């Protein structure tokens, strides 16, 4: 098959549109499938391949210089499929779901920031608990109790202790707080931070168990009860996940951006001229004049072939004519 493909700025615009639609599809799938990044990546790759085959393939069918009957059928199928792609983007594709999340971005990001910020209260509440427990012990005038208070300080606040070399409480606390502050600056476009919700949840749950285990030991009768974290990050994160996995039947932003993307991706096909000798148009046969046919054919010829041909004068025998 000999194609005369016309590469132009339209291809650049089309490829950028395909990449953007694929990324939006990836992000929408990450929200829709509860931050499953593997499934999201498969959606994005499949979307790009379908868009590339349909739109670039349709242009190739328009540019062919032989096998016109077969290729015009494929071109028409490609045009119909491109419309089907447009419909899929605004109905069943995660592309639509992203714009549903985007329309609720303020509510979702406020909930996300609140959930992340509240997780720091585990450390703050634990520090308050330790100080209160030590202060209660020191309030007794017994020297024995004072000695127990110092022991409690060492065991309840590992920051003052060298009892563990593999776990630095203060360093870990600062590291996690810095990560939480960074996570609060995310947006609905940056799905990778929100994609770590499960990891954050598991980490906070581990910290709750660790802090509670440190306070299990009672040093004397009447000592305070062990520390119990009241913050339930699992419930908060589950509520957040329900917000960004909730779907909507109609999303006007998805329709608008799908139409813009469709026009951008269709540019290579629109800019591609159909070869002169192809007798077909998109939905029928060409309707041209002999003069238009000659001018287009002349424009496609090499310059050397367009030189003026010498005028040939036919000679006739006068005897062949009768009056």
Distance CA(158)–CA(174), nearest Å, equals 14
List, as own/partner pairs, every contact residues 128-137 make where C-beta atoms lie below 8 angstroms and the sequence separation is at least 24, other chains included.
Answer: 129/215, 129/224, 129/227, 130/156, 130/157, 130/215, 130/227, 132/224, 133/215, 133/223, 133/224, 136/224, 137/219, 137/220, 137/223
- Asked if pLDDT for residue 275 goes beyond 70, the answer is yes
- Asked if pLDDT for residue 40 goes beyond 70, the answer is yes
For 38-46, what is the mean pLDDT? 93
Higher pLDDT pick, 71 / 117: 71
- pLDDT (tens digit per residue) in 5-39: 556 788 899 999 999 999 999 999 988 887 788 89
| Predicted local distance difference test score (pLDDT) of residue 227 | 81
Contacts of 228 (CB under 8 A, 6+ apart): 212
**Domain chopping of the chain, boundaries:** 9-90+251-290, 106-245
Length of the chain: 323
**DSSP β-bridge partners for residue 73:** none
Percentage of residues of the chain with pLDDT beyond 90: 21
Higher pLDDT pick, 99 / 148: 99
Contacts of 217 (CB under 8 A, 6+ apart): 155
pTM: 0.69
Q: How far is CA 149 from the centre of its chain?
A: 54
Which runs of E-coded beta strand occur in the chain? 280-281, 284-285
Structure tokens given for 94 = 């995660």
| Predicted local distance difference test score (pLDDT) of residue 251 | 86
- pLDDT (tens digit per residue) in 85-129: 999 999 889 999 999 989 888 888 777 777 777 777 777 788 888
- pLDDT (tens digit per residue) in 186-214: 678 877 666 667 677 777 777 778 778 87
């Amino acid at each position: 098959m000999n194609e005369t493909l016309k590469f132009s700025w339209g291809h650049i615009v089309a490829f950028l549109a395909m990449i953007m639609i694929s990324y939006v599809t990836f992000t929408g799938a990450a929200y829709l499938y509860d931050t499953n990044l593997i499934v999201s990546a498969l959606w994005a790759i499949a979307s790009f391949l379908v868009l590339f085959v349909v739109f670039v393939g349709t242009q190739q069918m328009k540019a062919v210089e032989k096998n016109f009957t077969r290729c015009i059928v494929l071109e028409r199928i490609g045009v119909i499929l491109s419309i089907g792609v447009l419909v899929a983007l605004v109905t069943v594709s995660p592309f639509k779901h992203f714009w549903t999340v985007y329309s609720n971005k303020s509510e979702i990001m406020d909930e996300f920031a609140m959930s992340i910020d509240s997780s720091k209260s585990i450390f703050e509440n634990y520090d308050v608990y330790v100080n209160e427990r030590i202060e209660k012990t020191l309030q007794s005038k017994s020297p024995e109790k004072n000695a127990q208070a110092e022991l409690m300080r060492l065991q309840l606040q590992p920051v003052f202790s060298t009892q563990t070399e593999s776990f630095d409480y203060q360093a870990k606390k600062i590291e996690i707080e810095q990560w939480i502050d960074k996570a609060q600056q995310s947006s609905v476009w940056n799905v990778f931070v929100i994609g770590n919700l499960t990891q954050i949840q598991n980490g906070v749950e581990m910290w709750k168990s660790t802090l509670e285990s440190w306070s299990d030991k009672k040093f004397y009768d009447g000592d305070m009860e062990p520390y119990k974290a009241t913050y339930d990050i699992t419930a908060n994160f589950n509520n957040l996940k329900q917000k960004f996995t909730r779907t909507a039947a109609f999303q006007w932003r998805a329709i608008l951006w799908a139409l813009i993307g469709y026009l951008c991706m269709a540019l290579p096909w629109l800019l591609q001229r159909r070869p002169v000798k192809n007798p077909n148009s998109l939905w029928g046969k060409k309707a041209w004049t002999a003069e238009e046919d000659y001018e287009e054919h002349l424009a496609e010829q090499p310059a050397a072939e367009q030189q003026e041909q010498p005028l040939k004068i036919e000679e006739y025998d006068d005897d062949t004519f009768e009056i």
